[in-house]
Structure 1
Amino acid sequence: MWANVVTLLCVLHSMEAVFMITLPSVEVEKKIEELGRRKPYVMFSPNDASSISKNLTNIEEEFHRQPTEAKNLVDLAESLNLTTLVKALEQTGLDNIIDHEGQYTLFAPTNEAFLNIPKWASNIPLKELLSFHVARGLIHGDEIQNDRLARTILSKRDIRLNIYKNGDVVTANGSPITAVNFTAHNGVLHIIDRVMVSIYERGGTIVKQLSRCPSFKTLTKLITIAGLNDALHAKGPFTLFAPSDEAFAKMPADCIKHLVDNPPMLRQVLLFHVAQGSWFSAGLEDGMSLESLQTSKLSIGIQDGSVMVAGKATVTSPDALGSNGVIHAIDTVIVPPSMEKKLAKIMSKAAKKQKRLIGSNKD
């Protein structure tokens, strides 16, 4: 009996709600059924017929409220006060793309992040820069895995996702992700605290990226001499601690010549500069050791905010991105511990020989 009364009341109130919201009754019934599954307060009790009217009011409010909550990604970014990003998207026309198409994951820099873009990055076309922050498809926070690659809307360029420090630090191309899982009807938004300005060329492995930079001419030549081009073009990922031309200039010329004349030894020295895995600066910790491709371990130290490698080299420019890893510029060439004595002995003999030659010329 009560069940029939409740049913009749529901129908009458539903009809009233139909006229109030000017929608076909079929749609309202579907909405009621959906909310009944999702929300406990819609499940009526025969002993509480007085609550039916209140519950139907809740249904109506929910029906009207939901469309305004289903923001697109641009509106969502604006509601999160990411105003610089929104203006940049509008300026480049990317707002129209991520407003209406697909399912996207937007890695959204804060306003402060835009203020801290390095000067050298001012030459990057803004549309290209922003496209590098939009991944195709949905990637929620719990779906991020270490070294997962997310294909962006910038042709054949990926965002590399990493998890460090037991999950306390999660990065996108080395930029820490500070908040996750803001949801829009056409995607998901994660907030990052740095603009991802290091954009590699299509297919730009760490070796190819080195060749683009005039500061690494010596290293690029030595990699070729050592026969490491193919190895460093591989999938990886790798972390290359790259000595600049100035770093090689600090070495005795005879030492470099000896390495060039002995490619197997040169190969071992260079492999000591490459760690397995992608280690952005946000993931490096004082006292940690990384496995190098030379098999010796690379010690990492952090002093006054500076990263030290193998106790001798300082990172001068971190987090340059390649398709298969990351590059950190360093100011000193490092030598595997197993080769230090041998190389020092060779250099000592070379110095004595040079001294004898100078003496004989004076005679």
Structure 2
Amino acid sequence: MLLDTFASSEAVVADLQPAEPVFCFLPAELRAAARRFVAFPGRVLYAVKCNPHPFVLETLYREGITDFDVASLDEIKLIGGLFEKSAGQFFNNPAKTRPAIRVGSEEHGIRFYTADCTEEVEKILDEACLDDDLIVAVRLATAAKDARYTLTTKFGAPPDEAVRIVQMIKARGIKAGVSFHVGSQCLNPKSFSTAISLSGKVMRKAGVPISVLNVGGGFPAPYPGDRLPDISAYFANVMQGRRDIDLPPSCMLLCEPGRSLVATAGRVIVQVVVRRDRAIFLNDGVFGTLQELVSPLERRPVRVIRPSGPVSDRLMEFKIFGPTCDSNDVLGAPFLLPADTREGDWIEVDMMGAYSLSMRTRFNGFHTDRIVAVAS
């Protein structure tokens, strides 16, 4: 997919003079992130939900990430429409509708599903084509104390239950797998080796051949304030975990990164609508592309763009409100901006590639439609 391309954020402002938010992709960042995952010791699935824009999907595909973690029939159709049967699709949502399973199987050839209860397994067996290559992975609940967002409150079977589900799948003549997710924005690489160790115990206790181990997502983005080791430390823990449980070579190893692939590859250019003392109202907010910034723990690099002249060297914190009439439209953490920030200034909010486009709404009539690429 081709996008209008600009040399910099300043060029976007100079050429467009935008009164509405502009979302900017950084293709070089996206390509670099994809290449970092070449070192993962298995198969990499991009989590489509993180940013489903065709520009992202096509760029990652060209860089060799040709498998996708899909969670809905719409995502299945999106990948199928872009790549037909040349892309792998893995239906890893543990709670799927029957039509989505049926259409995914019959029309898109999906052969990999995830479940965390016997009811979901039965549903898959009812609706999917029962061929020899069908695989159902059991989502295992794991500790997520080192992740910014815990996912096991919603998904994941306790170890003993996971053992029973794995055995049930095998007894029904289907290939079985084990999967987990350590939580989004995981700050400790050892969380992966710990979760793999727990997976190994489930595999041994189940006593049946395991075709797939999916270590999920959770690989972090380098947001301000998060002290992170290099991504290679996460891969090293995955490899060590695999060795420790003596995972057989025949067992496919998967991961499903989202945030770590796209976070640094997107930014938003917004404009100051009103300054009221130390409060600033923007033309975008938590009902738009800034949804993730509702948490006080979420901070992003910001800077003012003012083509008409210089900005103050003195910085101060501003409370940031969005454009809607809802009092919840406020960011959790302040922006550190020049003291003379004023109406009409543009603000570049960096590292916004993850979940920004996928979670925006049209609430109150506000919506980001302008999407461009920035070369630098």
Higher fraction of helix:
1
TM-score (norm 1): 0.23
Structure number with higher relative contact order (C-alpha < 8 Å, ≥ 6 residues apart):
2
Larger Rg: 1
TM-score (norm 2): 0.22
